């Protein structure tokens, strides 16, 4: 039996610098160690187009910045907003980066004065 976890309710991330990133608060990181795979639904309501704004899902075995690796990057296009963003699946047996214990989101952009409003739901399958 699978589970749906509301990882992040609607939130807006903004920054004036292209080097700035917005991270999910550490207290809200999701422990996914009991799941064998998951599908992430990242729904984008609005964003500043033309600045390369993105939402990343990252994973790490411990809550230390140096260990986090990207699982997926969603960069909405200026042509329109796909709602919800297509499902992305990962399992411990596939993908370049296997999910570790902790899952978090991270936002950034390639140009200054960026912003994005999004929410994330995760559908998980428990380990056998």
Residue 38 binned pLDDT confidence (cut-offs 50, 70, 90): confident
Span 71-102, pLDDT tens digits: 888 888 754 455 555 555 555 555 567 788 99
Domains of the chain from N-terminus onward: 3-126 (2.60.120.380)
Percentage above 70 pLDDT, the chain? 85
Residue 128 binned pLDDT confidence (cut-offs 50, 70, 90): confident
Please tell me the predicted confidence (pLDDT) of residue 84.
52
What is the three-state SS of the chain? CCEEEEEEEEEEEEECCCCCCEECCHHHCEECCCEEEEEEEEEEEEECCCCCCEEEEEEECCCCHHHCEEEEEECCECCECCCCCCCEEEECCCCCCCCCCEEEEEEECCCCCEEEEEEEEEEEEECC
Give pTM, 2 decimals: 0.86
Residue 11: HSE in the Cβ half-sphere, 13 Å Cα cutoff = 18
């Amino acid at each position: 039996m699978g589970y749906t976890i509301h990882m992040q309710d609607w939130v807006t991330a903004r920054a004036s610098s292209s080097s700035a990133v917005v991270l999910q608060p550490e207290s809200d990181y999701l422990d996914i160690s009991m799941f064998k795979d998951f599908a992430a639904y990242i729904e984008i309501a609005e964003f500043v187009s033309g600045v390369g704004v993105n939402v990343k899902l990252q994973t790490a075995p411990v809550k230390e910045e140096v260990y986090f690796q990207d699982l997926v990057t969603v960069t909405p296009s200026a042509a329109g907003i796909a709602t919800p963003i297509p499902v992305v699946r990962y399992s411990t047996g596939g993908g370049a980066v296997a999910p570790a214990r902790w899952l978090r989101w991270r936002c950034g952009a390639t140009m200054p004065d960026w912003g994005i409003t999004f929410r994330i739901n995760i559908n998980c399958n428990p380990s056998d």
